[in-house]
Chains A and B, each alone.
Chain A
Amino acid sequence: LAKTTQPISMDSYEGQEVNITCSHNNIATNDYITWYQQFPSQGPRFIIQGYKTKVTNEVASLFIPADRKSSTLSLPRVSLSDTAVYYCLVGLLEGGKLIFGQGTELSVKP
């Protein structure tokens, strides 16, 4: 699975849009880009997944440029409850194995 690099932490305020960028220079042709969210003492939760261009669901948007060497998770109008760690993963769910990096700790302030 391709290695990912994302900021260790980010701060934001309620109501703002938050964009978390992940770099994955060695992404393979068949790899998908997946983001998970984790609250303290809970398991990670799937947020969004994409292969190219833009994907949007009720929670977030995922922007992937043409070269796919990076991706940006966009959270519109964050609230205090969006305070969590966000993980960017690249690859396929092969053999049930997900490789998590250090993630980005997002802190939303009032």
Chain B
Amino acid sequence: KAGVTQTPRYLIKTRGQQVTLSCSPISGHRSVSWYQQTPGQGLQFLFEYFSETQRNKGNFPGRFSGRQFSNSRSEMNVSTLELGDSALYLCASSKMQGAIPLNTEAFFGQGTRLTVV
């Protein structure tokens, strides 16, 4: 079956602009999480959506937002881009059943490399 698909793979934006990244989870997966990876901070959790609701949020400013659609596809948006937002943005999907955590694995996409100039 198809894996997690993230688009676009690469983006170059200017400071002050906004950007929208897209993630299509594995079919049947209802949980979608977003992560930011930078050389200095490593992999950091941004937020998670399940059934179109944000259930969990990391410690990022309000410029970072997201949403999930009824088909479980998710988008994340970063407004007023800063140079420090340059990073690899990763999306992961998992087969969560309701609010009960399962001993399960997360499947990651290849990421979107965002460069802010």
Footprint of B on A, CB under 8 Å? 32, 34, 41-46, 49, 51, 87, 92-103
Contacts and interface: CB of A to CB of B under 8 A. Distances in A.
Contact of B94 (A32, A41, A45, A96): A96
A34 B105 contact: yes
Contacts, number: 75
A45 B108 contact: yes
A43 B4 contact: yes
A91 to B, nearest CB: 9
A73 to B, nearest CB: 15
A96 B110 contact: no
B31 A96 contact: yes
Contacts of B70: none
5 closest pairs, A vs B, by CB? A43-B108, A96-B48, A95-B56, A96-B33, A100-B43
B56 A42 contact: no
B33 A97 contact: yes
Given A43-B92, A43-B110, A92 B103 contact: yes
23 contacts: A41-B110, A42-B110, A43-B4, A43-B90, A43-B109, A43-B110, A43-B111, A44-B108, A51-B103, A92-B102, A93-B94, A93-B105, A95-B101, A96-B32, A96-B48, A96-B92, A96-B94, A97-B45, A97-B48, A98-B35, A98-B45, A100-B44, A102-B42
Nearest to A96: B48
A51 B103 CA distance: 10
B55 interface: yes
